[in-house]
Chains A and B, each alone.
Chain A
Amino acid sequence: MCGIIGVIDRKRALMDGSSIRDALSLMNERGSGEGAGYAAYGIYPDYQDCYAIHVFFDNLVEPKSRVEEMLHKWGRIVHQEAIPTYEQDGLKKSHIPWRYFFKPYSDLMAGSTTPEDDVMKYIVMETNSNIQGALIFSSGKNMGVFKASGWPEDVANFYRIEDYKGYIWLAHNRYPTNTPGWWGGAHPFNLLDWAVVHNGEITSYGTNRRYVESNGYTCSMFTDTEVVAYLFDLLGRRHGLPEDIVVKALAPPFWDEIDNMPEKEQELNHAIRLTYGPALMNGPFAIVVATHEGIVGFTDRIKLRPLVIGENGNRLYISSEEAAIRVMDPEVQNIHMPRAGEPVIGRLNI
C-alpha cells in the first residue's frame, strides 16, 4: 500500500498546498501514520538561482557546523533559516528541519557538463553518508520537499503546506512494510531536481543499488525508493535520456513483446534492455517522478499497483485513486488508467 498523488499545471499557474493535503488525507487508509510528505516546484522565486537545501538536523551544534564547513568549501550560502514548523498533537518532532539557499562554485568540478549539479550531488552524498545527525532530503532549485513521520494532514499542518505555492506538487502517504517508518524514509525522495513518490516495493533493489553505487551514488535512507531518484538522475541528467526512454529502461517491455515489434522498435528496445539491464526495476510499483519541467507517472510491467490519470485544461493529475483527484478538482475530465509500464507525461507548455 501507500497513496500517491501528483499534479502539474502546464502553464505554470501556482497552486497552494491545501488541496493536495486534502486529497492525500482522503487516502489515509493507504498509510499508517508513519510517514507522509509533499514536494512542490516554484515555491522559492526569490532564490530561484540557488539550490534550496532542506536538512534534518538532530541538533544545531555539531552536525550543522560540519554541513556548513562543507558548504563554505564548495560555494556560498546566500541565506539560511529554520523551516517554519507548527506543533501538531499527532506528530513528534524528531528532527529540526532547516534550509539553506546555496550557490556552488562551478569551477571546482572537473570533467562535468553540469558542474554545479555535481557539486550539489557530492555534498548530498557526503552529508548523508558521513555526517551523523544531518540528512539532506531536498536539494533542487526553486523546489522543496517537506516530510515527516505522521499522517498526511499532520505533516501538512506541521509545515503549513498551504503557505507554499507551486506549479507542480507531489504527495505521498506511507505504509512502511519492509523498513521502519522514520523521517528520512518518508517520501518524496529527492536529489537535485528529481523528486519521487512511490507505492510498492522495488524487489530488484539490490541490483539497482549496486548499479547506482557503482556510478557514484550512496544509498543511505534504508528504503528502496531512494534508488529511483538516483536512477533518474543518472539516466535522465547524466546520460541525457528523455523521460519516456528512462521509463523504458526502468520498466521495459517483455522480451516476447519486443520480438513482436517492428524492426526499428525492436532494435531500440534491445539496445535499452542490454545497456540498462541493471536499471530494470522488478516488483510491484506505481511511481510519479517530477522535475522542474514536468511529471511522469508509470507502473511496473504487470501492473501490481494502481494508477489513475485525470485532466482539466492545463492540469494533469496522477494518483492512486480517482476520488483523491476529485477532491483536488471536482471538475476533472478524462479519467482513465494507463497500461502497465506506459509512461504518462505532463510537460510544461509555455
Chain B
Amino acid sequence: MEKVEIDAKGMHYTPLNEMIREAVRNGAKEIILDNVIGQRFIADGLKADVTIRINGVAGGDLGMFMNGPTCIVNGNCDHAPGNTMDGGTIVIHGSAGDAAAHSMRGGKLFVKNNIGYRGGIHMKQYEEERKPVLVVGGSSHAFLGEYMAGGLILVLGIGQEDPAKDRGIGSGIHGGMIVIRGEVKDELLGVGARKAEFGEKELEMITPYVEEFCKYFDTEPSGLLDMNYTCIVPASTRPFAGKYTWE
C-alpha cells in the first residue's frame, strides 16, 4: 500500500488524522487528502517518511510537532502551520495565516505567497544541526520573527514593492536571523533587533533555501541570488535584560 487517497469532505479532524496514522502504519508513502476544508491539526505529531498532499484549505496548526513527513498544500493555510515542528517539510502553494512557523524548532516551511502577522514567532534552534527555516515568497506583516531565538526567516518579496510591510520586525529577537529582500526602513525594526551586513557568506547561506523554494514553485532562482537583501539580527542575546528584573 504505497499510495492512499482520502476524501476529507465533511470529515472532522480527529477521524481524518486517525486515517492518516493508520495509512502510515500500513506503510503508505504517499497520502492524498481531497476536499480538505479547515480541518485542523493535520499530520500533528506524525513521525514518518511520508508525503501528504493536501488539496483544499488546511486548518490551523498543520504539522504541529511533526517530525519527518513532507506536507504539500494546494491551497491556503489557516493559522500557525509548522507550529513547534521538529523536522520535515511543509510546502504551501498559497498563503498562510498569522503565526506561521510558530515556535518551530526544526524542518522547513515554504510559503509561495504571503504570510500574516507574527510569522516565525519564537522560532528556536539547537546549534547548526537543528535549525528551522521559514521561506516566504511574497510578503509578511508586523512582528515578523517576534521573540525569535534561532533559525532563519527569509522573505523573498517576489512581485512585492514592500516585502516586510509593517512595524516590529524582530521584536525581542535574541537568536537566529531574518533576511528580507530589498531595503527595510529603520523604523520598522522592533526592540532588540538591528541590521547587519548582508555579505557573500550570508548569500551562500541562503542560496540552497532560495533554490529549494524555486524548485517547489517552479520559479527561476537567478534573479533572487544577489546582494539585494537586508539582514536583521539580535542586538544582544538578552533584549529585555533589566526590564522585568534588576541585577
Chain A residues in the interface with B (C-beta under 8 A): 26-27, 29, 254, 256-257, 260, 302-303, 306, 308, 321-324, 326-327, 335, 337, 339-340
The reply to whether A303 and B141 contact each other, CB–CB distance below 8 Å, is yes
Q: Is B83 an interface residue (CB 8 A)?
A: no
Task: Give A259's nearest chain B residue, CB to CB.
Answer: B187
Size range of the chain B interface in the assembly: 20 to 34
| Bound form: Cα–Cα A323–B40 in Å | 11
Q: Is B230 an interface residue (CB 8 A)?
A: no
B12 to chain A, nearest CB (A): 9
Contact indicator per residue, chain B 161-201, by CB within 8 Å of chain A (1) or not (0): 00001111000000000000000000100000000000000
Which chain B residues (33-91) contact chain A, with CB distance < 8 Å? 37-38, 40, 57, 59-60, 76, 78-79
The reply to whether B117 and A29 contact each other, CB–CB distance below 8 Å, is no
Contact indicator per residue, chain B 102-125, by CB within 8 Å of chain A (1) or not (0): 000000000000001100000000
The reply to whether B116 and A322 contact each other, CB–CB distance below 8 Å, is no
Residues of chain B within 8 A (CB-CB) of A322 are: 38, 57, 76, 78, 97
Task: Give B13's nearest chain A residue, CB to CB.
Answer: A29
The reply to whether A327 and B37 contact each other, CB–CB distance below 8 Å, is yes
Residues of chain B within 8 A (CB-CB) of A337 are: 95, 97, 116, 141
Q: Is B30 an interface residue (CB 8 A)?
A: no
| Bound form: Cα–Cα A272–B168 in Å | 24
The reply to whether A339 and B166 contact each other, CB–CB distance below 8 Å, is yes
| Best-surrounded residue of A257, A260, A302, A322 (most CB of chain B within 10 A) | A322
In the complex, 17 of the A-B residue pairs with CB atoms within 8 angstroms, ordered by the A residue number, are: A256-B187, A260-B187, A302-B117, A302-B143, A303-B141, A303-B142, A322-B38, A323-B37, A323-B57, A323-B59, A324-B38, A326-B57, A335-B76, A337-B141, A339-B141, A339-B166, A340-B142
The reply to whether B97 and A26 contact each other, CB–CB distance below 8 Å, is no
A273 to chain B, nearest CB (A): 18
B57 to chain A, nearest CB (A): 5
B43 to chain A, nearest CB (A): 17
Residues of chain A within 8 A (CB-CB) of B165 are: 339
Task: Give B94's nearest chain A residue, CB to CB.
Answer: A335
Residues of chain B within 8 A (CB-CB) of A254 are: 167
The reply to whether A306 and B37 contact each other, CB–CB distance below 8 Å, is no
Task: Give B113's nearest chain A residue, CB to CB.
Answer: A336
The reply to whether B117 and A340 contact each other, CB–CB distance below 8 Å, is yes
| Bound form: Cα–Cα A308–B143 in Å | 19
| Bound form: Cα–Cα A255–B233 in Å | 26
Since A302-B168, A308-B97, A337-B97 are in contact, a sample of 7 more A-B pairs with Cβ atoms closer than 8 Å, ordered by chain A residue number, is: A302-B117, A303-B141, A321-B38, A321-B78, A322-B78, A323-B78, A324-B38
| Bound form: Cα–Cα A324–B38 in Å | 8
A253 to chain B, nearest CB (A): 11
The reply to whether B37 and A26 contact each other, CB–CB distance below 8 Å, is yes
Q: Decide yes or no: A306 and B38 within 8 Å by CB, A321-B59, A335-B76, A339-B141 being known contacts.
A: no
A189 to chain B, nearest CB (A): 25
Residues of chain B within 8 A (CB-CB) of A306 are: 78-79, 97-98, 116
| Bound form: Cα–Cα A27–B116 in Å | 19
A199 to chain B, nearest CB (A): 12
The reply to whether B97 and A326 contact each other, CB–CB distance below 8 Å, is no
| Bound form: Cα–Cα A29–B142 in Å | 26
The reply to whether B141 and A26 contact each other, CB–CB distance below 8 Å, is no
Which chain B residues (130-157) contact chain A, with CB distance < 8 Å? 141-143
Residues of chain A within 8 A (CB-CB) of B59 are: 321, 323
Q: Which of A326, A335, A340 contacts B37 (CB 8 A)?
A: A326
Residues of chain A within 8 A (CB-CB) of B76 are: 322, 335
Task: Give A26's nearest chain B residue, CB to CB.
Answer: B38
Residues of chain A within 8 A (CB-CB) of B79 are: 306
Residues of chain A within 8 A (CB-CB) of B97 are: 306, 308, 322, 337
Q: Which of A257, A303, A326 contacts B117 (CB 8 A)?
A: A303
